[in-house]
Amino acid sequence: MKSLEELRQLRDKVEKEMKMRDESNRPEIIIGMGTCGIAAGAREILQAVLAELEKRDVDAKVTQTGCIGMCEREPLLDVKMPGKDRITYGNLKLNDVKRIITEHVINENIVQELAIARMDN
């Protein structure tokens, strides 16, 4: 180690992975993973979300939830930005994931056409 600067660069590099264990407020993406969700392709949606977050270097929590009763609309995905309402998107296709992450998670604009519900903060 030659300098404090070098240590900090190393820290920036390794810090990303530790963010997982940071419980502070970060954008949260919640995927419906009940039997209905999985049958409708929620696993693929989840993998697409992870890939997109990685590609765009976005810091967000990805969690799952069970069936919420709207099985007809699966796969379902919720986006919860810190301090904002939780928005549910339904009938998702794989290529919708990219749009939701760029527009909603990065630019903080709700994708109106795909949104099906809003839960109060």
Partner 1 sequence: MKDIIYRSHILICTGTGCTSSGAKKMRIALEDELAERNLNKEVKIIETGCHGFCEKGPIVVVYPEGVFYCEVKSEDIPELVEEHLLKGRIVERLLFKEPVTEENIPSYHDIQFYKKQERIVLSNCGKIDPENIDEYIALGGYEAVGKALSSMSQKDVIAEVKNSGLRGRGGGGFPTGLKWQFAHEAVSNKKYVICNADEGDPGAFMDRSLLEGDPHRVIEGMIIAGYAIGADEGYLYVRAEYPLAIKRLEKAISQAEDYGLLGDDLFSSGYNFKLHIKKGAGAFVCGEETALMASIEGKRGMPRPRPPYPANSGLWGKPTNINNVETYGNIPYIIKNGAEEYSKIGTENSKGTKVFALTGKINNTGLVEVPMGTTLREVIYDIGGGLGEGMKYKAVQTGGPSGGCITSEHLDLPIDYDSLLGVGAMMGSGGMVVMDDGTCMVDVARFFLNFTQSESCGKCTPCREGTKRMLEILERICEGEGEDGDIALLEDLAHHIKDTALCGLGQTAPNPVLSTLKYFRHEYEAHIFDHKCPAGVCKDLASAYLIDKETCVGCSICAKACPVDAITGTPKESYQIDDDICISCGVCASKCPVSAISQG
Least separation in angstroms between residue 13's CB and partner 1 is 6
Judged by beta carbon, residue 20 or residue 116, the one nearer partner 1 is: 20
Q: Which residues bind partner 1 (CB under 8 A)?
A: 1-4, 7-8, 10-11, 13-18, 20-21, 23, 30-31, 33-34, 38, 46-47, 50, 53-54, 61-66
CA distance 29 to 88: 10
User: Which two three-digit tokens encode residue 98?
Assistant: 């990219």
3-state helix, strand, coil in the chain (%, to 5): 45, 20, 35
Least separation in angstroms between residue 112's CB and partner 1 is 26
Least separation in angstroms between residue 53's CB and partner 1 is 7
Judged by beta carbon, residue 3 or residue 112, the one nearer partner 1 is: 3
**Among all chains, which residue has been given the structure tokens 């949104």?**
115
**Phi, psi (5° rounding) for residue 70?**
-95, 55
